[in-house]
Structure 1
Amino acid sequence: MFEKKAGAYVIDLLKQWQVNHIYGMPGDSINEFMEELRKEEAIRFIQIRHEETGALAAAAYSKLTGQIGVCMSIAGPGAVHLQNGLYDAKKDKVPVLAIVGQVSSEVVGTDNFQELKLESMFEQVAVYNRRVQTAEQLPDMLNQAIRTAYAENGPAVLIVSDDLFSTKIKYEKPMTSASYSQPKIRAAAEDLKKAAELIEAAKKPVILAGKGAKGSVAEVLMFAEEIKAPVIASFPSKGLIPDEHPNHMGHLGQLGTEPAKEVMKEADLLILAGTAYPYRDYLPNDAPAIQIDIDPAVIGKYYPVTIGIASELDPVMAWLIENIEPKQEDFLKKYQEKRDKWNQQLQQGMEKETEQLQPQQVIAEVQDILEPGAVVSLDVGSVTLWSARFLKLTDQKLVVSAWIATMGCGLPGAIAGKLAYPEKQVIALIGDGGFSMGMQDFVTAVKYDLPIIIVIMNNQKIQLIETEQEEMGNKPTNIELANIDFAAFAEACGGLGYTARNRQELKDVLEKAKVSNKAAVIDAYVEDIDFETL
């Protein structure tokens, strides 16, 4: 086998892993790898303006597709900037690869310019965290990093001195291959039988479904219909369970609905399907529980389960459907009526006319232009609360920073959504606080001709923090935000910018943005109203 640069082998392997784009910013400790990327047409380099955007976008891409997202940075400051996005991937359990540059190998350890102890810095966040010592190791360590990211559902960090990428090697006896074997996890027969006994004995079973239901939604809903059980979806799984399904009661907790809260407290059996829901106060006081999850470590982590089933959902649901008698639906009907009344109240709030825009009206107008199969990228803040309650999804995909809940995730999620699904509509719902945290990368969407629609709920404050301060009995402080003309900013970036101060203006500009085929920002000035008043 002839010699070629180690970086060229990295490109070959990334293609074998079906990586088609990388988020990053060039710099002096990854420039040799940039040269290899320059020669390769199959892998698109997306130049972002801040490495945090790149890491958050890589995590969002993985959440949306199930494929590994890839980002890269230089040593020192670039590596530091990756941390937030990598923690997002870790906490939301998705595979991401970060290729991180380091100072030249001959000066590592001498406290050289921009040198940091990167292995120590990434130790907590990474499921794989290694510095490549020699160019010969690089291809196999890359395979190991990606495989570990898939196996452990988290970020893998590969630290490489840039000179190693340009070193010629003979990759004659590979230790590894560019492949990952997904395990098939099946339930123990005795666990299934015990679960069936609990279900047969229950008169008020409730299903709480989470992200683990992805790929098993039809089976979960068939099971729910069979046992006449209300279904509650954890918020990170919004969009998996259609909001309009007759068994669906909405979400639980601060982001949830009253019917979901009430039905959970009345449950005499809790069935946790692909979720380790962490908020104990919203779960039953002492009801027996069945938890089904592919990760044994989370079974019983936040609720004292009676039966734990370590398995994929599909076979468990299929077995239970086959082996359990249908139930009466009195309990379900009671809460369907409550849910219908709740939804009527929400609809009234969305339809009412006011002089100034209100947040729920923004959601209603976005809903009107939302296409089947669209991607909705949601930021963190009061916009999350409004969207959780009022936004109805059927077959659309939603992406959000769930567990670490970082503001500023909405724009990177939209960029990733458009790269993942170029033919799909992509809309981001963001607060003015969240957008201003990383707004510089709107120009990235413009540069790469990504026609995303950014809808900003602009109330010129950090409203969720204001609410939290008030709930603690404190006087709100430092929550006001200096206003930015986001529409003018979007135009300055080369995109489209619109301002809406009432409902009709919002209708008009949403239609314009929808057909523009350009990256657009809609600056929607919303009235400052209390979320709990609606």
Structure 2
Amino acid sequence: MATVSDAIVQRLGEWGVDRIFGYSGDGINAFVEAIAASGDLDFVQARHEEAAAFMAVGHSKYSGTVGVMTSTQGPGAIHLLNGLYDAKLDGVPVVAIIGQQDRSTLGSAYMQEVNLERLFADVASEYLQTVQTPEQVPLVIDRAFRAALATRSPAVVILPHDVQKADAPELPHEHGILHSAVGYSAPRVVPHVDDLARAVEVLSASERPLLFVGRGARGAQDEVVAVAEALGAGIVTSLLGKPYVDERLPFAAGTMGHLGTTASARLLAECDGLLLVGCDDPWTEFYPAPGQAAAVQIDIDGRVIGNRYPVAVGLIGDAAETLAALLARLPDSPPDSRPETEPAPAPATRTADGTGADPEAGSWRATVEREVASWREVARRRAATPADPVNPEAVLAALDPHLTAETLLALDVGSVVYWYARQLHLPHGVEAHVSGRLASMGCGVPYGLAAKLADPTRPVIVLAGDGGMQMLGNAELVTLARMWPRWADPRFVVCVLDNGDLAEVSWEQREMESAPRYPASQDLPAFPFAGYAESLGLRGVRVDDPTALDDAWREALAADRPTVLQVVTDRNVPLLPPFPQGEQKLQSMHEGLAREGASGAAAARLLDEYASHERR
């Protein structure tokens, strides 16, 4: 006789699920046994439930489908929280199926009994349900998936152990029994015509327009460039939007914010028109001053319109379709691209080169391109700055020419994200993901594993610091060692920037508190990452010479097995925010470094050198 667990596994298959990430335990064992019996689902065992949750989130980010995770009750369930919040804050659909003690024991302070509904009430606010009877199962699973997809958020299903083992239900057609069906089709969401017309008026009146592009533009890369060209605009991106703009374009100014580029900071400070596309970045001090720029915002989620900056027009809609509709109405658009059912807009005065609404617009595009070229020179000089022994920016600069359109990048959280944002120019087609809004350390290797499983034919590069690796990454190298022999394509590189320091926090202490680095909280124990990889049957390479970086990347990406590339880097390389905001932080940073005595002198010298690159 089939059980409730068998029915759930079958339903997951009908939803297109072929992989589930998790860790077993007595509270979920009946469900795990059903997975084993089916032969249809691949159970990916992580070393820790938190890593399993990150894998499910990574699966969703790289594949565009729902990531599914599972755990037992009590501690296993608690460990899932970090990954679930990662999904919630980055707007990613995942479903968690979590075990619970038998219904008859609940409320008795039983072994590993935790009030799971209270625990998950915030993170799974869009859908959270305990299955109380077998008859609920199809409906609850279906609603969990639809809620996750419709709201791009986590859904949690709590499954008591006795319900898991119960007989699969046969649903009669009677009162109190609900029949459900599998399936979800995303709607076509486009703004009202009047709103589009108002947006065109605002954008066409701008003399110094800028596009600010976020992850919501994932499917609108061509449209973003076309609108920027039509407006004579520059483009900046959020951290999560970086993979969706080709930064080799002369008007692509790179990532904004604390870890961003000087070009993005200067252009945002000068623009008088702002088109936000699928972006809800929280670094509001880097936005134009309120009232400086007339803003139009495009987002599929109406709740974020005007969330970070006062907008003149909010356009609720799919990014690609909305941009295409705007492009068809802009004065520079070809006549045959405009919908036949709507009148053409009144002609606007344009410059001879067609790049703006008045004679200043052409010079704005020239200004954008000068700022971009200037920033690229700053980035080049930074990567070439000598450090002891290796400048971490040089590691990423050396990787840049080895990236191809098929590369999948996974980022851990820490200073490595700064160097990624500033030194890598991602070819069209590269997917790169990080724990964005939650910014949780330890996500790098789990994300990388999920990326490889989602598309085993593509090479994966994980960029991590020694802090993130010691937190979760080292354990998941064990998972990597277990899994890679099954892969036809073994290209998987974990690059560890090893500086013995929680560098991002060390620089935050100096920047935000004018405080010296606190060794007790910031020092990391030495760990032989490359040697550890070798002990697991992986390849390990240790680099402490900047001239060896290019060969190391080439060899790692051509290796016959996954490779851990341990690069010994200098903790003193500063995490200086882009100017002009960064200039305001110099004094507090120097005050903190001065209190470190001789140990802060090298960092102070590098800080001054980096600042000199920024100044005109």
Matched, 1:42 2:40: yes
Which residue pairs with 2:171 in the alignment?
172
Deviation of 1:509 (Å): 3.6
Q: TM-score, normalised by structure 2?
A: 0.84
- Aligned residue for 1:516, secondary structure, equals coil
Q: 1:102 aligns with which of 84, 100, 103?
A: 100
Which residue pairs with 2:433 in the alignment?
399
Instruction: Decide whether aligned partners of structure 1 residues 195 and 163 sit closer, same or farther in structure 2, where only a CA change above 3 A counts.
Output: same
Q: Any residues of structure 2 matched to 1:7-26 within 5 Å, and which?
A: 7-26=5-24
Which residue pairs with 2:345 in the alignment?
none
Which residue pairs with 2:514 in the alignment?
473
- Aligned residue for 1:255, secondary structure, equals coil
Which residue pairs with 1:307 in the alignment?
313
Deviation of 1:496 (Å): 2.1
Deviations 1:77-116 (A, max 9, x none): 0001000000000000000111110012222222211110
Deviations 1:181-239 (A, max 9, x none): 21211111111111111122111111101111111111111011111100111111111
Matched, 1:239 2:238: no
Deviation of 1:166 (Å): 2.2
Deviations 1:114-157 (A, max 9, x none): 11000000001012111110122122211111111111111111
Deviations 1:417-470 (A, max 9, x none): 101110001000000001111021111111111642110000000111111111
Question: Which is worse superposed, 454-463 or 351-360?
Answer: 351-360
Deviations 1:291-335 (A, max 9, x none): 111111110111111111111122322222222123333201112
CA distance in 1, matches of 2:541, 2:565: 5
CA distance in 2, matches of 1:479, 1:209: 34
CA distance in 2, matches of 1:77, 1:290: 46
CA distance in 2, matches of 1:131, 1:380: 34
- Aligned residue for 2:226, secondary structure, equals helix
Q: Counterpart amino acid of 1:445?
A: L
Contact kept in structure 1, 2:443 and 2:468, CA below 8 Å: yes
Instruction: Decide whether aligned partners of structure 1 residues 106 and 354 sit closer, same or farther in structure 2, where only a CA change above 3 A counts.
Output: closer
Which residue pairs with 2:147 in the alignment?
148
CA distance in 2, matches of 1:255, 1:504: 26
Which residue pairs with 2:84 in the alignment?
86
Which residue pairs with 2:204 in the alignment?
200
Deviation of 1:504 (Å): 4.0
Question: Which is worse superposed, 329-338 or 417-426?
Answer: 329-338
Deviation of 1:354 (Å): 6.2
Which residue pairs with 1:330 in the alignment?
363
Q: Counterpart amino acid of 1:184?
A: R
Which residue pairs with 2:493 in the alignment?
453
Structure with greater Cα Rg = 2
- Aligned residue for 1:405, secondary structure, equals coil
Contact kept in structure 1, 2:389 and 2:569, CA below 8 Å: yes
Matched, 1:222 2:226: yes
- Aligned residue for 1:457, secondary structure, equals strand
Which residue pairs with 1:276 in the alignment?
280
Question: Which is worse superposed, 452-461 or 514-523?
Answer: 514-523
Question: Which is worse superposed, 310-319 or 98-107?
Answer: 310-319
Contact kept in structure 2, 1:259 and 1:338, CA below 8 Å: yes
Q: Counterpart amino acid of 1:437?
A: M
Which residue pairs with 2:602 in the alignment?
none
- Aligned residue for 2:54, secondary structure, equals helix
- Aligned residue for 2:24, secondary structure, equals coil
Q: 1:531 aligns with which of 558, 569, 575?
A: 575
Which residue pairs with 1:365 in the alignment?
398
- Aligned residue for 2:522, secondary structure, equals coil
Q: Counterpart amino acid of 1:401?
A: S
Contact kept in structure 2, 1:386 and 1:531, CA below 8 Å: no
Which residue pairs with 1:492 in the alignment?
535
Instruction: Decide whether aligned partners of structure 1 residues 501 and 43 sit closer, same or farther in structure 2, where only a CA change above 3 A counts.
Output: same
Any stretches of 5+ residues in structure 1 without a counterpart?
none
- Aligned residue for 1:138, secondary structure, equals helix
Any stretches of 5+ residues in structure 2 without a counterpart?
173-177, 333-354, 357-361, 577-606, 611-616
Which residue pairs with 1:387 in the alignment?
420
Deviation of 1:353 (Å): 6.4
Question: Which is worse superposed, 459-468 or 194-203?
Answer: 194-203
CA distance in 2, matches of 1:171, 1:524: 59
What percent identity do the matched residue pairs reach? Answer: 33
- Aligned residue for 2:47, secondary structure, equals coil
Contact kept in structure 2, 1:355 and 1:502, CA below 8 Å: no
Q: Counterpart amino acid of 1:349?
A: R
CA distance in 1, matches of 2:325, 2:550: 48
Matched, 1:59 2:92: no
Deviation of 1:527 (Å): 1.7
CA distance in 2, matches of 1:281, 1:405: 19
Question: Which is worse superposed, 456-465 or 445-454?
Answer: 445-454
Question: Which is worse superposed, 153-162 or 346-355?
Answer: 346-355
Which residue pairs with 2:467 in the alignment?
433
Deviation of 1:506 (Å): 3.6
